[in-house]
Amino acid sequence: MDRSFSKQESAKAYEAYTAQQSKFQKGSGGSYNPGGREQSTINSVRNQTSYSSGSDYYSRRTVFYDTYSWQPPIYTYHSYSSFGIWDAMMLWFMLDHINDRQYSEMYYHHRDDPGMQQFRKELDRMSAENAELKEKVKQLDESTKSLEQQGVKVDPSYVPPDAASIALADSFAPKPAPKKESGFPWGWIAVIGALGIAGFLFMRRKR
């Protein structure tokens, strides 16, 4: 998903993002300072992703979820918009795609992280009165048990390859540096002007 987006696409994607964020009943839960394990995840994402100057976090999110034709269940918005370093949409997407190994490993490798533990508490709370969600939590636990039995070593830097560029919450996601404004080239004009005057004076002396 390392592609360039027009300013119009980026603006539209950002508007869609902010509209979506406003639906979460509990907001973001306030500012968050990542611990050592979570910082390993953030560093891993930054090392794995390389965006062009026209790349855009919000547009990439739109493209990703549209590609999967995934719509978040309504109960998604009954909680927080982010959990620690993770974007809430990604964690709910993870839950709905837990049979895809990269997403079962996402939970497995980060289940002891504060953000993921907060997400798990919300799952337990919300699934107590939601049979559909309760079944998904059951599948989540089964996938974790399977990875444990396989002896998969926990890797705190792991991020799903397909979603590395959008898995983190907005405040932790890597974004390209803004383009430096070139402005009007007054400096070059001054140099050229000075050389022109010097040349003119030199020719007059020769006459």
Q: Reduced to 3 states, what is the DSSP secondary structure of residue 168?
A: strand
Q: Is the pLDDT of residue 200 over 70?
A: no
Encoding tokens for residue 83? 């959990």
> So what's the pLDDT on residue 91?
98
Which sequence spans correspond to the domains of the chain?
Answer: 7-206
- In this structure, is the dihedral angle defined by the CA atoms of residues 180, 186, 187 and 192, taken in order, positive or negative? positive
The DSSP annotation for 10-21 comes to: HHHHHHHHHHHH
Q: How far apart are CA 54 and CA 112, in angstroms?
A: 35
The per-residue pLDDT of the chain, averaged, comes to 84
Q: What is the model's pLDDT at position 110?
A: 96
Quick check: 140 and 95 in contact, CB under 8 A? yes
pLDDT tens, residue by residue, 46-86: 887 765 444 688 999 999 999 999 999 999 999 999 999 99
Q: Rounded mean pLDDT of 163-177?
A: 83
Express each pLDDT in 97-142 by its tens digit. Answer: 999 999 999 999 999 999 999 999 999 999 999 999 999 999 999 9
Kindly write down the DSSP assignment for every residue of 185-199, as one continuous string. Answer: -HHHHHHHHHHHHHH
The sign of the CA dihedral 72, 76, 81, 83 is negative
- Assign 3 a pLDDT band (cuts: 50, 70, 90): low
Q: What is the dihedral of CA 171, 177, 181, 185, to 10 degrees?
A: 160
DSSP assignment of 73-116 equals -GGGGGS-SEETTEEHHHHHHHHHTTTSHHHHHHHHHHTTSHHH
Q: How confident is the model at residue 94 (pLDDT cuts 50, 70, 90)?
A: very high
- The closest of 172, 183, 200, 190 to 44, measured between CA atoms, is 172
* Dist CA 159 CA 131 (whole Å): 29
Higher pLDDT, 33 or 98: 98
pLDDT exceeds cutoff 90 at 20: yes
Confidence of residue 1 (pLDDT cuts 50, 70, 90): very low
